[in-house]
Every structure is written in C-alpha cells, then in structure tokens.
C-alpha cells in the first residue's frame, strides 16, 4: 500500500467530514422540519414516494426500505415506495413513452393529495425527476427535494429543498444518505416517541414549518 493511496483516503474522509459539519450546522432546522412534514403526512394516512437515478435510485430504495421495515426503533411498518424498483413498469414506460416519464407516470398512478414525493438529484436537473415533481404538484403531493449546489431546475419546483452546497457528486450523495437516515429517525421520533409534538399540527392549531 503506497502513501498516495493513504493520502487519497485521508483527503476524501476529511473533505466529507468537513462538508458534513458545515451542512448540518447550517441546515439542522430544515432537516427537522422536513421530518416533521413526513411524520404529519404519515400520521394522516398518506404515504411517501421516492425517486432518483443511479446512486440516487439506490438511496431511494434504501430509504423506502427503512420506512417499510424499520430504521432503529421496532415499530409498525410505514407506507413508502421507491419508484425505481419495478423493472416491468420502468421498461414499459421507457419503451412506450421515453425515459423522462418513468417516474411521473407512476406518480400519476399512485400519488394522492397529502402524499409526499422525495425527489433526489445531485444536479437538480434530472429530466425524469423534474417531470415527477411536476406530476406530484398537479396531484397535490408535498415535494421534498434533495439536491446539490443551488438546486438546479428543481429548486423553484419543490415545496421544501435540501441542497448540499457542493459540486462533488460523491460527497453530495454521502450527505443525502445521512439526511435520509435522520429523516427516518426523526419521523420515528415524532410518530412513536413524542406524539404530543405532532398534535397541534394535526389539530390545526400550529402553523406548519415552511421552506
């Protein structure tokens, strides 16, 4: 093993740690607000839909699994679905209508008012994710975007945007999955450990956190 290899490892680890520190120092309240929105959607009988491409597709599936199975707390399954997993649906839509519609047609079929779409794109410019967001808005879903940089074309379309201020895709993805894990853990906290905190929002006595 060469010193160069060890240096590459150290540089990546230190860059990721510094980005993580800066991001959560600046955006902890935003992540907490997003989790509260998730918990309220689920408490009202709605579901979560996740979509993304490549590594973000893997993150979508990972996070949906955490909700349906469990994260850390042993609790009832929660309704979540990754729009990246059904190869027959994806190839049928891609073949008949084009890859840009592989998520939006699923949102049209499965999304209901009050559901939440979690849209992942490190660039904020993935065409099929943008079409999914548009379909979600048409069907009155709440849209949470996870992206990088300034948010790209996604930024003005999302109800709430969590943007990692960096241009390095691998490091953006590392923050996205950390945010996703926090969304899982905090949603469990709101739903199963501190339900009293949700009650004012469910009863209409408190204003929901905005963007």
Asked whether the CA dihedral 211, 200, 38, 134 is positive or negative, the reply is negative
pLDDT in tens, 70-90: 999 999 999 999 999 999 999
What 3-state class would DSSP assign to 21?
helix
pLDDT for residue 211: 47
Kindly state whether residue 128 falls inside one of the protein's structural domains. Answer: yes
Choice between 27 and 205, residue whose per-residue pLDDT is larger:
27
Q: What is the mean pLDDT of residues 204-211?
A: 65
DSSP letter string, 47-76: -EEEE-STHHHHHHHHHHHHHHS-SSS---
Kindly state whether residue 96 falls inside one of the protein's structural domains. Answer: yes
CA–CA dist 56, 41 (Å, integer): 22
Kindly state whether residue 137 falls inside one of the protein's structural domains. Answer: yes
CA–CA dist 188, 128 (Å, integer): 30
Q: What is the mean pLDDT of residues 99-105?
A: 98
- How far is residue 208 from each of residues 20, 138, 192, measured CA to CA in Å? 27, 21, 19
Q: Which range of residues forms the domain containing residue 122?
A: 46-202
* The total number of residues written for the chain in this structure: 211
pLDDT in tens, 169-195: 999 999 999 999 999 999 999 999 988
Task: Residue 123: give its domain's CATH number.
Answer: 3.40.50.10490
What's the structural domain count of the chain? 1
pLDDT in tens, 45-78: 999 999 999 999 999 999 999 999 999 999 999 9
Exposed e or buried b per residue across 8-34, where buried means at least 16 C-beta atoms within 10 angstroms of its C-beta: eeeeeeeebeebeeebeeebeebbbbb
Kindly state whether residue 144 falls inside one of the protein's structural domains. Answer: yes
Beta strands 80-82; 48-51: pairing state: parallel
Kindly state whether residue 176 falls inside one of the protein's structural domains. Answer: yes
Kindly state whether residue 198 falls inside one of the protein's structural domains. Answer: yes
Kindly state whether residue 80 falls inside one of the protein's structural domains. Answer: yes
Please check the confidence at residue 199 and state whether its pLDDT lies above 90. no
pLDDT in tens, 109-152: 999 999 999 999 999 999 999 999 999 999 999 999 999 999 99
Kindly state whether residue 79 falls inside one of the protein's structural domains. Answer: yes
pLDDT for residue 1: 76
């Amino acid at each position: 093993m060469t010193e160069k290899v060890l240096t590459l490892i150290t540089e990546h680890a230190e860059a990721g740690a510094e980005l993580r520190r800066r991001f959560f120092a600046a955006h902890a309240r935003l992540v907490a607000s997003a989790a509260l929105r998730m918990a309220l959607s689920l408490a009202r009988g709605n579901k979560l839909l996740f979509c993304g491409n490549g590594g973000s597709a893997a993150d979508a599936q990972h996070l949906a699994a955490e909700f349906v199975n469990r994260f850390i707390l042993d609790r009832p399954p929660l309704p979540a679905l990754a729009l990246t997993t059904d190869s027959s649906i994806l190839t049928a839509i891609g073949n008949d209508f084009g890859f840009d519609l592989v998520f939006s047609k699923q949102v049209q079929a499965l999304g209901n008012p009050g559901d939440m779409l979690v849209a992942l794109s490190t660039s904020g410019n993935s065409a099929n994710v943008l079409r999914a967001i548009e379909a979600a808005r048409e069907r009155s879903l709440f849209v949470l975007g996870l992206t990088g940089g300034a948010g790209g074309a996604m930024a003005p379309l999302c109800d709430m945007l969590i943007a990692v201020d960096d241009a390095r895709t691998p490091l953006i993805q590392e923050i996205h999955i950390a945010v996703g894990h926090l969304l899982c853990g905090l949603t469990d906290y709101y739903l199963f450990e501190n339900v009293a905190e949700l009650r004012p929002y469910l009863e209409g006595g408190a204003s929901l956190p905005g963007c």
